[in-house]
Structure formats: C-alpha cells, structure tokens
Structure 1
C-alpha cells in the first residue's frame, strides 16, 4: 500500500458517499428544498453533499482505526480463532445494545419491543451480505472481521444520529456511512493485491 492508493481510497470514498448521502438527503427533504426557488434547492443540495462528505470522513477514520484494532487484536490473541470469538461476542453485545437501549430510551407506551429490532437486524443482514462478498473475494478468514466492521464500527459511527432518534436523520446519516464502509472494505483487497 503506497500513498497514491491511500489518496485514492480517501477521495473515491469521499466522492461516492457524499453524492449518495446528498441524493438521499435531498430526497428526504424534498418538500423543504423544492418550491422556494432555485437558490434554496442549490443550497440544499450543497448542504446535503457537504454533510455526506463530513460523515464520509468519520467513516474513513473508523475504517483506519479498525485496521489498527484488527492487527492489534490479532497480535494479542495470536490466533484468528480467539480474535474472531471476541469479535462475535462484541457483535452480539452491540446488537443487544442497539435494540434494548433504544427501546428503553425512546419507546412510547404501547410500542412493541420487536419494532426496535428491525433496524439493527437490517444492518446486521447487510453486514452479513457484505462480509460474505468480502470472504468470497479474499478468503473465509475475512468474514468475521468484515462483519464486525460493517456492523459494530458502523453502529459506533452512527451514534450521533441514534441519539437524535429521528427517522429522517437516521437515514441521512446511515447512507453515507454504509456506502463509505462498503466501498472501503471491498476496495482494500483490490488495491493491495499483488500482481500475478
């Protein structure tokens, strides 16, 4: 991995996630940005793209932090098996927290506990799909770290929106996060692959 590849990861991730975040943000705020003149719409688009870019930078910091954490975990545990078990425990812990603490903090009287399982389950299923692709393109050992990154690290990066607990902000925030994290995870092995 050289500096040119690091720069490519940074700018490509920033571009793709800001555009996707901007599109979703404008779509979810369509009534705010349309109908009050072209200037309002242009400023709204720029604002949403800028917000997507800022969230992308958070995702990139999380990605490089996880690369360090993963190597550190492997160094401490000496085997993939032990480190994978630790990651599975943390995945289950974060899933429980994402369901239970949001339910305790935000549930209104009569609201079902199972309703708070939908978003974490969808995020987990998405993480499994991306981890499966990663493992298929590299090796089976990559499955658990990829799932951990896509589920646990994404959840940590998503905390500002989770605290706000507004459906619109949850969607606006998670879009650039998922796009950035998916792109980085599936791009990394292609960039560091040794030529045949």
Structure 2
C-alpha cells in the first residue's frame, strides 16, 4: 500500500471511530446529557460531543493497532502452518475459545446470584452476527479463503481490543466502545483490498509515466510517439 493510501486509511478510520462513538455515546448516556439539551446549554453540549469524539479517536487508534497487528500475525500463521486450510482451522478454534471466554469470564466475574445468562450472551451474538456479515462481504469481494480470516479479525481481535472496558464492565462505555471498534474494524477489513488495488494502479501509472518520458516508440504507421503504458 502506498503511503498516500495508508494516510487516507488512518484518517478515515479515525473519523469513523469519532462519529460512531459520538452517536452511540449520546444514545447510551442520554439520561445524563438530556438536561443539557432541554436547557439548551450550548457549551455543555459541545463539550460532551467533543469528549465523545476524542474517545472515539482513541478507540479508532486501538482498532488500527489491532488491525496491523493481525496482518502481521496472519502472515506468521501462514508461514508457520504452511497451509491456508490448516491456519484457518486454527483460527476457527480460537474464535470458539474467544466467544466462550467472553461469555464465561464476564458471567463468573460480574454476574450476581440469580442473574440470567442471556445479557452476557448478547455481546457474543452481536460479534457473531456482525462478523459473519462482514466476512461474507469480504469473501464476495475477494475470494473464499478470506472468509475465516475476516471472521477471526471481527470477533477475536475485536474482543482483545475491547478488553480495557470488559475488565471494568463500565456501562457507559461498554457498547460505545464495541460498536466503534466494530465500525472501524469493518471499514478497515473491507477497504483494505480496494486500497491495495488502488495503490497498485498508482504504482503502474507512475511506472508508465517514467517509461513515457524515456525513448519514444514507433507506431504501426512509422510515426514517433511517446509510450502511454
């Protein structure tokens, strides 16, 4: 990927995280922020939105760190197992372990006596639904081998990125963070192949321009012209 498209990926993902966190944060914390809107306290409203944007930027940076870390791990995995199918099988096992730990550890650490298991299953179902949808789109736009890696990234890597809030079980940031992470991760995984293709086209265009500035070629009629390749 060219540096230009890499910078574009960074800023766009940053914006996705900020906007998503601001919207979800306003909805989740509406009971706290509603008086500001009712009394039309402009400064308080702006301060709250800016704060949510800043937190969204932080979530976006965490997402991008996880994304590039997974790209590195994915290459190592392919190199170690020497087989796409075997590496995908390992990732499926890790997906199952990740989902089990997400439900079991949160339930054992935070559930009170008599609490239902259903609220602790909801986040896992959210990750599964979003992960399957994103992985299916990725497979459709690239190839079938991309399904499991995309699913692994959307589930396991998102859980790892979500750990800071999972550890404290903060109700104010629980869903704003995970939805921001899912939005950023979805954007990155679905735009990666497009930016790679665009980067390749840009490199080819630069190469063609360099060739075009060199020795002119001869067309079929014997006239001289510059190469456009």
Band of TM-score, shorter chain = over 0.9
| Residues in 1 aligned to 2:8 and 2:177: alpha-carbon distance in whole angstroms | 23
Q: How far apart, CA to CA, are the structure 2 residues paired with 1:151 and 1:164?
A: 20
- 1:146-168 deviations in whole A, cap 9, x for unaligned? 00000000000001111121333
| TM-score for both structures, normalised by structure 1 | 0.95
The residue that corresponds to 1:115 in the other structure is 119
Partner residue, 1:183: 187
Higher relative contact order (CA 8 A, sep 6+): 1
User: Is the contact between residue 34 and residue 41 of structure 1 (CA under 8 Å) also seen in structure 2?
Assistant: no
Give the TM-score taking structure 2 as reference length.
0.82
Distance 1:50 1:83 in 2: 37
**Separation (CA, whole Å) in 2 of partners of 1:72 and 1:9:** 23
SS of equivalent to 1:161: helix
The residue that corresponds to 2:7 in the other structure is 7
Residue 29 in structure 1 maps to residue 29 in structure 2 = yes
After alignment, is 38-47 or 25-34 more displaced? 25-34
Which is higher, the Rg of structure 1 or of structure 2?
Answer: 2
CA distance in 1, matches of 2:5, 2:56: 22
1:68 corresponds in structure 2 to 72
State the Cα distance separating 1:115 from its structure 2 match: 3.5
Matched residue, 1:141: 145
Whether contact under 8 Å (1:34, 1:40) holds in the other structure is no
CA-CA distance at 1:173 after TM superposition: 0.8
Shift of 1:114: 3.8
1:17 equivalenced with 2:21 (yes/no): no
Distance 1:34 1:108 in 2: 30
Structure 1 position 176, deviation (Å): 1.4
SS in 1 for 2:172: helix
Tell me the equivalent position of 2:47. Answer: 43
Task: Find the aligned partners of 2:34 and 2:124 in 1 and give their Cα distance.
Answer: 32
* Inter-partner Cα distance in structure 2 for 1:189 and 1:138: 8
In proportion to residue count, which structure has more helix?
1
Moved more, 143-152 or 20-29: 20-29
CA root-mean-square deviation: 1.5
